[in-house]
Structure 1
Amino acid sequence: MRYGYARVSTTDQSLELQEETLRKAGCEIIRGEKVSGSSRHGRNELDILLEFLRPGDSLVVTRIDRLARSISDLQDIMRTLEQKNVSLVCTEQPIDTSNAIGKAFLNMLGVFAQFENELRRERQLEGIAKAKAKGVYKGRKQMIDHDRVKALKAEGLGVAKIMRQTGISKTHVYRIINENSEKNHA
């Protein structure tokens, strides 16, 4: 049986085109999700499919980057498919792992997908560095209220009580307290 997997990176993108292509490729069951492909974390629909596939089945995607954006994730997925005796088929790329040519092409595409991902990350970091140099980028807004932690400590509360009242980890509480004492000693 052929099972389809569709993925887009953001919630404002549509899965419709991929789902239509997968139906035309003979997939009766299609799982889709709107989540980043840069990691396997949070990709519940993919996990369900990988668990459900049986020997002789095919997992069908439109393009390899819909399945994985890094070589290590692609290799992990492929190991799972191989252990289950399941082939991978891409509708828009000459990949069908039921034959040697398809397997070779899959490995080449995986390398290029990871390369593209790393280039994008480098460009993003360059943009952030330029924005910081111009004073435009300040980073993410601080999530932990340092003043509250310091006030609770000044009231005589111990680390455990501060953790319970703020929901902040022990490491962060100590970091804030030590940051305060280091400034006083300087």
Structure 2
Amino acid sequence: MLIGYARTSTLDQKAGLEAQVRDLKAAGCEHLFVEQVSSVNVVQREKLAEALDFIRTGDVLVITKLDRLARSVQHLMELLDTLTKKGASLNILGLGIDTSTSTGKLMITILGGIAEFERGIMLERQREGIAKAKAAGKYKGRKPTAQAKADEVIKLRDEGMGASAIAREVGIGRASVYRIIGDRAAG
């Protein structure tokens, strides 16, 4: 059975996710696991875990691009090991790689290393660009999410709600609630 896995990092990458789903269906995937979650700083991607649990001997996990699956070469090797132990393989549509063959296994290892290297270079350039923008006074960073909810936090506190309850209600961390309350008290 062909089992598809599609992922985008953010909710605003809807078109990219739709394209992955379209390509996986066109490839004949009978079951799809789809999620919108970053692969970085995530303990476990729920739908990926479900897909790996679902896979049986002879099945093929199909993805559109390598970066949709693994965070690093080590992670890729762990995923391939899991698939191999289950008697399954991986097919990457965009690269025409099938890990059921020796050549496919070699290519995936090489390309995984290149992808990790490329990501490292990109992050390095990004850090350099941010440092340059900060030095020029042009980089302000992202707008604090919690501060945008400050009025709501203060309103709930004035109604007698505790910090933990406010944090849950508003969708921010408890420390942010205390920071907002402290800022208002000082200001």
**TM-score normalised by L of structure 1:** 0.71
Residue by residue over 1:63-111, the C-alpha shift from the partner in whole angstroms, topping out at 9 and shown as x without a partner, is 1111124112211211211121110011121311111011111111101
Structure 2 residue aligned with 1:86: 88
Identity across matched positions, percent: 47
SS in 2 for 1:76: helix
Q: In the aligned structure 2, how far is the partner of 1:36 from the partner of 1:120?
A: 17
Instruction: Tell me, in whole angstroms, the C-alpha distance in 2 between the residues paired with 1:42 and 1:135.
Output: 38
- Does 2:133 correspond to 1:97? no
Distance 2:31 2:111 in 1: 26
Paired position in structure 2 for 1:19:
21
Question: 2: CA distance between counterparts of 1:8 and 1:42?
Answer: 15
1:2 and 2:2 matched: yes
- Give the paired residue count: 156
Aligned counterparts of 2:21 and 2:107: Cα–Cα separation in 1:
23
Structure 1 residue ranges (4+ consecutive) displaced by more than 4 angstroms after TM superposition:
138-143
Distance 1:142 1:97, change over 3 A: closer
**1:63 and 2:31 aligned:** no
The amino acid that maps onto 1:20 is: R
Structure 2: state its 5+ residue gaps. 147-166, 168-173, 176-187
TM-score scaled by length of structure 2:
0.71
Q: Which residue of 2 aligns with 1:178?
A: none
> Please, which moves more after superposition, 83-92 or 131-140?
131-140
Q: Give CA deviations for 1:103-130 in whole Å, capped at 9, x if unaligned.
A: 1111111011101110111011101211
Could you tell me which residue of structure 2 aligns to residue 157 of structure 1?
none
CA spacing shift, 1:111–1:30, aligned 2, 3 Å: same
The two structures, once aligned, show a CA RMSD in angstroms of: 3.0
3-state DSSP class of the match of 1:124?
helix
CA distance in 2, matches of 1:130, 1:17: 35
Between structure 1 and structure 2, the one with the greater Rg is 1
Q: Deviations over 1:144-184 (max 9, x none)?
A: xxxxxxxxxxxxxxxxxxxxxx955xxxxxxxxxxxxxxxx
Contact preservation (8 Å) 1:69, 1:113:
no
